[in-house]
């Protein structure tokens, strides 16, 4: 049995898993990297190394893609009956649910997020998307068409799996991001090579065990741990990959696009954001304060849809800023495995330095700090929930995605909706937004006018497997979840027969 020195609060089974020798999952086998290399995994609450995982590189990518290619071209998965594929995905969901506590512990240990939140959000949402997509397997269908070409014809479409899919995911919701990618691709009958984020590989490695146990045929899902350049880049460029689905920074999204150009593989991208939360004077103030605080501080602001630009009508600006600052000051920042933690450390030393750098740059550019503004200790990657005022476009903190618990508040004065829409839309991103008002007409007008893939009214960060999620503008291409995501993993074939 492994010692619990990594953290005495985790269960023996999780400690055993973390400290066991980790392997890549390729062609239904657990294998070391071809080079034998490994890299360290850190606990962000302490900065200490907790284990090592294989460092996949080109040769491992080649092995994984070959396995996925074989599984797609001649294996059973795309040929299984739709209901059998659905049953296996349902089994995956059941198995994840059975290991809910262990997954929540792994997310907390590896990413830093509160265990209590991973337990009620990350893991249940992961289970949901597998069940939701299990339901879709039997409902993916083409259409028939009354065509007008001279003669007598029968025309219909077939919806077929796109083939071998490469998936590259980030660290902010390690398990959930894997599920958002894997569940629809598998429902459509694709085979997959997924590269986990180097900062948070543990829950994805545990998922490999679940797929194995669920009876997924070899090569249908291949799971790699490795760095972006070493493993992600050769995967995105691989000529035997038919499609690449990426979630991460806009900068790397652009590299993925270039890498995909070689064989013109299909691409979907879920990228950054700088989402506005707009509070109108008729909003329920207490509700708006709690809601807009949660919009930025949930998951430590490490959400692509974080409400990082807070626009408040001048009539209630002071009251809302004071309220959000008070919430910020009351959040218990502590290691994620501490049951009283409401906010854990940021994911990595790199992210910690980056976020503190943004706060410093904001202050340097003239922002006023009304809450937080610093690290909380010298131990671990903890940053105080931070509220900045006196900010304006042109400042880095307003224009760029911080991906940390930092919100920039700005008053607006116009009753004219067009003026606030212009400010809210003044960003290269278009992922999400929230509107806080009791006025139906304002709610609908603003929802229509926002250039964003998701608009929440009197709420923020509400996700469901049935709802499409994705970005306008430089926030990405395509949608995750809902019926919509199936388009990412299907080709459409038109068949016409002369009668
Ligand atoms: P990143 O975009 O570098 O990493 C995301 C994934 O892409 C990881 O699996 C990484 O290994 C992989 N990757 C990196 N370079 C690659 C390449 N050349 N080819 C193929 N794959 C590659 O994001 P990172 O460095 O972790 O975070 C940087 C910033 O990105 C964050 O501060 C945040 O602003 C943004 N970000 C946005 C996310 C989102 O959900 N939209 C998630 C994570 C980060
Ligand atoms: Mg990076």
What are the tokens at 273? 């954001």
> 350: Cβ below 6 Å to ligand 1?
no
**For all residues of the chain together, what is the average pLDDT?**
97
Is residue 1 scored above 50 in pLDDT? no
Q: Phi/psi zone of residue 71: left (φ > 0), alpha (ψ -120 to 50 degrees), beta?
A: alpha
Helical packing angle, 12-19 and 100-111, nearest 10°: 60
Residue 483 · residue 155 · CB < 8 Å: no
The model carries a pTM of: 0.98
What are the tokens at 421? 């829409």
304 is catalytic: yes
Of all ligands present, the nearest one to the C-alpha of 252 is 1
* Cα 292 to Cα 307: distance, rounded to the nearest angstrom: 7
CA of 247 to the centre of ligand 1 (A): 7
What are the tokens at 84? 């059998």
Annotated catalytic residue, options 270, 303, 305, 480:
270
CA-nearest residue for atom 25, ligand 1, is: 249
> 432: Cβ below 6 Å to ligand 1?
no
Is residue 62 scored above 90 in pLDDT? yes
Q: What is the CA radius of gyration of the chain?
A: 23
Chain segment 65-124, per-residue pLDDT in tens: 999 999 999 999 999 999 999 999 999 999 999 999 999 999 999 999 999 999 999 999
pLDDT computed for residue 4 by the predictor: 55
Is residue 377 scored above 90 in pLDDT? no
229 is catalytic: no
> 271: Cβ below 6 Å to ligand 1?
yes
Residue 361 · residue 394 · CB < 8 Å: no
What are the tokens at 272? 């950054």
Chain segment 291-342, per-residue pLDDT in tens: 999 999 999 999 999 999 999 999 999 999 999 999 999 999 999 999 999 9
What are the tokens at 63? 């092995």
Cα 100 to chain centroid, rounded: 19
CA of 250 to the centre of ligand 1 (A): 8
Of all ligands present, the nearest one to the C-alpha of 249 is 1
> 233: Cβ below 6 Å to ligand 1?
yes
> 194: Cβ below 6 Å to ligand 1?
no
Name every residue whose Cβ is closer than 8 Å to that of residue 140 and which is 6 or more positions away in sequence.
Answer: 82, 159, 187, 188, 486, 490
Chain segment 233-259, per-residue pLDDT in tens: 999 999 999 999 999 999 999 999 999
Name every residue whose Cβ is closer than 8 Å to that of residue 261 and which is 6 or more positions away in sequence.
Answer: none
CA of 197 to the centre of ligand 2 (A): 9
């Amino acid at each position: 049995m492994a010692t619990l020195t990594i953290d005495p609060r985790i269960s023996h089974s999780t400690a055993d898993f973390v400290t066991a020798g980790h392997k890549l999952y390729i062609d239904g086998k657990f294998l070391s990297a071809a080079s034998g290399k490994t890299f360290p995994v850190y606990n962000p609450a302490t900065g200490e190394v907790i284990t090592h995982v294989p460092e996949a590189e080109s040769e491992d990518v080649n092995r994984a893609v070959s396995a996925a290619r074989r599984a797609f071209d001649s294996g059973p998965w795309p040929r299984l009956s739709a209901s059998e594929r659905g049953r296996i995905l349902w089994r995956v969901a059941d198995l994840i649910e059975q290991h809910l506590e262990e997954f929540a512990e792994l997310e907390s240990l590896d990413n830093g997020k509160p265990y209590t939140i991973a337990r009620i959000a990350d893991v249940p949402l992961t289970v949901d998307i597998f069940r939701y997509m299990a339901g879709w397997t039997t409902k993916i269908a083409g259409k028939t068409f009354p065509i007008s070409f001279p003669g007598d014809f029968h025309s219909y479409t077939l919806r077929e799996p796109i083939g071998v899919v490469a998936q590259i995911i980030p660290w902010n919701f390690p398990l959930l991001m894997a599920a958002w990618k894997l569940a629809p691709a598998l429902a459509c009958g694709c085979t997959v090579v997924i590269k986990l984020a180097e900062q948070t590989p543990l829950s994805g490695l545990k998922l490999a065990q679940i797929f194995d146990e669920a009876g997924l045929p070899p090569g249908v899902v291949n799971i790699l741990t490795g760095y972006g350049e070493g493993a992600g880049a050769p995967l995105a460029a691989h000529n035997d990959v038919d499609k690449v689905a990426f979630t991460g920074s806009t900068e790397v999204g652009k590299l993925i696009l270039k890498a995909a150009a070689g064989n013109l593989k299909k691409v979907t991208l879920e990228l950054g954001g700088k989402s506005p939360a707009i509070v109108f004077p008729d909003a329920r103030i207490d509700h708006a304060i709690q809601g807009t605080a949660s919009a930025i501080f949930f998951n430590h602001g490490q959400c692509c849809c974080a409400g990082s630009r807070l626009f408040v009508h001048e009539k209630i600006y002071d009251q809302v800023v004071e309220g959000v600052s008070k919430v910020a000051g009351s959040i218990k920042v502590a290691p994620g495995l501490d049951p009283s933690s409401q906010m854990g450390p940021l994911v990595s030393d790199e992210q910690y330095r980056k976020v503190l750098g943004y706060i410093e740059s904001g202050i340097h550019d003239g922002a006023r700090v009304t809450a937080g503004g610093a690290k909380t200790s010298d131990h671990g990657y903890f940053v105080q929930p931070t509220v900045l005022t006196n900010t304006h476009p042109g400042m880095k903190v307003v224009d760029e995605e911080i991906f940390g618990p930092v919100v920039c508040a700005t008053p607006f004065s116009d009753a004219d909706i067009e003026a606030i829409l212009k400010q809210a839309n003044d960003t290269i991103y278009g992922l999400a937004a929230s509107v806080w008002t009791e006025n139906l007409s304002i709610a609908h007008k603003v929802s229509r006018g926002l250039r964003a893939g998701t608009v929440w009214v009197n709420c923020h960060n509400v996700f469901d497997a049935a709802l499409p999620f994705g970005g306008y503008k430089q926030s990405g291409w395509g949608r995750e979840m809902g019926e919509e995501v199936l388009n990412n993993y299907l080709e459409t074939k038109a068949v016409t027969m002369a009668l």
